[in-house]
Amino acid sequence: MTTPLDRDAFPLTPPGGRTPYSTEAPSGPQTRPWALRFARVPDSTQAARVPAHVFDHDRQVNVSDDGGLLTCMANTHTPTVPDGSTTNPPPLDEGPKD
Amino acid sequence: MPGPVLIVAASDDWPTDRVVVALESRGIEVFRMDIADFPQRLVLSGRIDQASGWTGELATEQRTVDLSRVGAVYYRAPGAFRLPEGMSGPEKRFAAAQARAGLGGVLSALECRWVNHPAAMARAEYKPVQLAAARACGLIIPPTLITNRPEEVLAFATESGGQIVCKPVASLVLIEDSRLKSVYTRRLCPEDFADLRGIDTTAHLFQSWVSKEHEVRLTVVGERMFAAAIHAGSEAAHEDWRSDYGSLTYTRSSVPEPVAAGMRRLMKRLQLRYGAADFIVGPDGRWTFLEVNPCGQWDWIQGATGLPIAGAIADDLQGVT
């Protein structure tokens, strides 16, 4: 059961990430939310892959393979262009939610 | 010397890197943690008694911060607790709830400057709350319907001359059938109303279509406002700029004083020090409020326009506005 404490006191990204992976197929028109009729797989042709990087615990920032800081939105300049990867869902323009 | 700044953010939140760098370049002590660090990389030891409020420390292998010295907290989309392998499901749920109430509770109780306090963020993330607050603060909002009743959708469309949009009330992305999908704002056409099965399955949000000359991402940090005009270069982007980033161009913009005053009232009402607000600017120059995200992205706007948002966040954490 979700309590007010869970909901309001300390919102976190849910376990499994904000966009949990699923192999389930859409249901039928009687049960599928109407708005999902307009769901589409994003155009991944505009997407830029995030470069390889690690979190440097000493410096408290992410660094790329050459040791430099990541530039604007991790060098992509396309912050929320989804690349269609289910393991790299786009950053959402909203906060953590359960 | 001001107290250290505690940053609570996902370790892969790259914009937060810029805030860390800005603060450290000013000589401010920073302790960055992700909730996912707890309990395996992060140690909490907190005490409270009649004589004093929460004292103790947060510690990692690299550094320690004294809870009683924390001067400000930057809270931005941390990850979930990462619990030890081998726990059973019930044990994990129990441990996660204890961690949330324990670590989350101690952090939430810190009496210092927050950008933003998680309780305020949680409430402000509800679009219906935002719309009601914006209206009360004197901002113009589009007529809006939230319903699971199909006939109500038809009536609203008729009242709006058939010019309405449908948009998610909450998250716009999902993964189903092993594919990532997005649900952007959709300007509805007559054929869309022919079959409304599924409206009754959950809450749906509809708004009157607002004619737009361009849109504005208004990033508010403390008392400062950074307005970036977003110009759509395609039909898709004109409907929802998030659907076609490649076609967008950005310019710095100014904010009409009545809008700025309304936003100040709104931020105060929602108890936010940071917010990323979206407005439509009509051909007549009228600004219509769409939403304000307490955790909205800002780094790409800074990159595209040069607006000094990271510095402003650092300023606000230092109490310099």
Could you give the ipTM of this predicted complex?
Answer: 0.87
Q: CA B89, CA B153: separation in Å to the nearest integer?
A: 42
Query: Does B129 fall in a domain?
Result: no
- Looking at residue B65, its pLDDT comes to 98
- Looking at residue A90, its pLDDT comes to 56
Residues 126-165, chain B: which have Cβ within 8 Å of A?
Answer: none
| Residue A3 identity | T
- Looking at residue B14, its pLDDT comes to 84
pLDDT tens digit sequence for B160-212: 999 999 999 988 888 898 888 889 999 999 999 999 999 999 999 999 999 99
B261 falls in which pLDDT band (50, 70, 90)?
very high
Picking from A6, A8, A10 by the largest number of B CB atoms within 10 A of its own CB, the best residue to mutate is A10
Chain B closest-CA separation from residue A63 CA (Å): 9
Total domains in the fold of chain B? 3
Boundaries of domain holding B247: 211-306
Q: Does residue A74 have a pLDDT over 90?
A: no
Picking from B30, B75, B240, B245 by the largest number of A CB atoms within 10 A of its own CB, the best residue to mutate is B245
Picking from A30, A34, A70, A83 by the largest number of B CB atoms within 10 A of its own CB, the best residue to mutate is A34
Q: Strand locations in B40-178, DSSP E? A: 43-47, 55-59, 64-66, 72-76, 113-115, 144-147, 164-167, 173-176
Q: Does residue A4 have a pLDDT over 70?
A: no
Q: Which residue has the higher pLDDT, B261 or B299?
A: B261
- Average pLDDT for A34-50: 79
B127 falls in which pLDDT band (50, 70, 90)?
very high
Q: Measure CB to CB from residue A5 to each of B101, B192, B295 and give the nearest one.
A: B101
Query: Does B292 fall in a domain?
Result: yes
Are residues B72 and B48 both part of a single domain? yes
- Looking at residue B211, its pLDDT comes to 96
- Looking at residue B293, its pLDDT comes to 92
pLDDT tens digit sequence for B42-100: 999 999 999 999 999 999 999 999 999 999 999 988 888 899 999 999 999 899 989 99
> B257-270 and B127-136 are packed helices; what angle lies between their axes, rounded to 10 degrees?
130
Query: Does B321 fall in a domain?
Result: no
DSSP3 helix / strand / coil % (chain A, rounded to 5): 15, 10, 75
HSE toward the beta carbon, residue B321, CA cutoff 13 A: 13
| 3 state DSSP class of A28 | coil
Are residues B269 and B197 both part of a single domain? no
Q: What are the backbone angles phi and psi of residue B275, rounded to the nearest 5°?
A: -160, 145
Which of the listed ranges A67-81, B163-177, B280-294 does the model predict with the highest average pLDDT? B280-294
- What is chain B's length? 321
- Among A64-78, B38-52, B140-154, B269-283, which is the least confidently predicted range? A64-78
Q: Measure CB to CB from residue B14 to each of A22, A73, A92 and give the nearest one.
A: A73
- Average pLDDT for B1-16: 89
Q: CA A90, CA A84: separation in Å to the nearest integer?
A: 9
What residues in B contact A96, CB-CB < 8 Å? 77-78, 295
Domain boundary residue among B192, B208, B224? Answer: B208
Q: Does residue A3 have a pLDDT over 80?
A: no
- Average pLDDT for B284-311: 93
Task: For chain B, say whether A27 makes contact (Cβ under 8 Å).
Answer: no
Task: For chain B, say whether A93 makes contact (Cβ under 8 Å).
Answer: yes
Q: Does residue A2 have a pLDDT over 90?
A: no
A79 falls in which pLDDT band (50, 70, 90)?
very low
Label the pairing between strands B30-33 and B5-9: parallel
Are residues B196 and B106 both part of a single domain? no
Q: Strand locations in B60-170, DSSP E? A: 64-66, 72-76, 113-115, 144-147, 164-167
Query: Does B128 fall in a domain?
Result: no
CB within 8 Å of B130: residues ≥ 6 apart: B124, B270, B291, B292
What residues in A contact B77, CB-CB < 8 Å? 13, 95-96
Domain boundary residue among B64, B99, B115? Answer: B115
Q: Does residue B112 have a pLDDT over 50?
A: yes
- Looking at residue A97, its pLDDT comes to 34
Are residues B15 and B106 both part of a single domain? yes
Q: CA B30, CA A59: separation in Å to the nearest integer?
A: 10
- Looking at residue B170, its pLDDT comes to 87
**CATH number of the structural domain spanning residue B191:** 3.30.1490
Gyration radius of chain B over CA positions: 22
Q: H or E element: which one contains B241? A: none
Query: Does B198 fall in a domain?
Result: yes
Token pair recorded at residue B108: 């939430």
User: Mind giving me the DSSP string for A49-85?
Assistant: PPPPEEEETTTTEEEETTSPBP-TTTTTS-TT---S-
Mean confidence (pLDDT) of chain B: 94
- Among A15-19, B67-71, B131-135, which is the least confidently predicted range? A15-19
Are residues B14 and B26 both part of a single domain? yes
A14 falls in which pLDDT band (50, 70, 90)?
low
DSSP3 helix / strand / coil % (chain B, rounded to 5): 35, 30, 35
